[in-house]
Amino acid sequence: MSDRADLEALFAKHGYTDFKWIEPAQIVVSQWVRMKCMFGCPDYGRNAACPPNVPTVTECRAFFNEYHTAAVLHFAKSLDNPEERGAWSRKVNHALLKLEKEVFLSGYQKAFLLFMDCCRICTNCPGVRAECKSPELARPSPESMAVDVFSTVRQWGFPIEVLSDYAQEMNRYAFLLIE
């Protein structure tokens, strides 16, 4: 069995079937994404895994260039109450950490997860990297690593649109870098 087949069996064991293999070189990294973090996002400076607590945009691109394989995992969800989003993100991201750990323990020493949302592992985040309450669990989101998620996932036909109200279905994406 190939390495990829082994990994796919591992993904299936964790319940992940809605994903695609991608080449990290095709991940679109853009300065405008960082500007959106800096101006207009309430998590800027308030989440210890979001800007300014992350590498520069140039360093983000360099990071992705160090990998040859990644999986992009799709999560679709509608929530009646926007307040439920944090709890949903926490649950999904905790589960993804288990997959990242098992991939790592399978021999992929560079395995690194980008959460499908800002790090919501703790209900109250101090917003400063050095004060992170669960540093072993904290991971950045694709957006906080300057990934243009829209342009990136559309290359593989994944759905993603700007949403105008909370009743619409969200299409969120996590990335697992593997090597």
Contacts to ligand SF4 by CB under 6 A: 47-49, 119-122, 125-126, 132-134, 137-138
Q: Return the number of the residue (91 or 154) whose C-beta is nearest ligand SF4.
A: 91
d(CA 58, CA 46): 22
CB of 137 vs ligand SF4, minimal distance in Å = 5
CB-wise, 125 or 153, nearer to ligand SF4?
125
Distance of closest approach, residue 165 Cβ to ligand SF4, in angstroms: 26
Closer to ligand SF4 by CB, 24 or 140: give it. Answer: 140
d(CA 165, CA 78): 11
Burial class (CB in 10 A: 0-12, 13-18, 19+), 12: exposed
Q: Nearest approach, Cβ of 4 to ligand SF4 (angstroms)?
A: 30
- Residue 84, CB half-sphere, CA atoms under 13 Å: how many? 9
Query: What is the closest distance, in whole angstroms, from the C-beta atom of residue 128 to ligand SF4 in the complex?
Result: 9
**Interatomic CA distance for residues 11 and 31, integer angstroms:** 32
Minimal distance in Å, beta carbon 116 to ligand SF4?
14
Q: Report residue 35: phi and psi, to 5°.
A: -60, -35
Closest to ligand SF4 by CB, 136 or 165: 136
Taking the C-alpha atoms of residue 53 and residue 145, their distance in angstroms, rounded to an integer, is: 10
Nearer to ligand SF4, 82 or 126 (CB): 126
Neighbours of 81 (CB within 10 A): 8
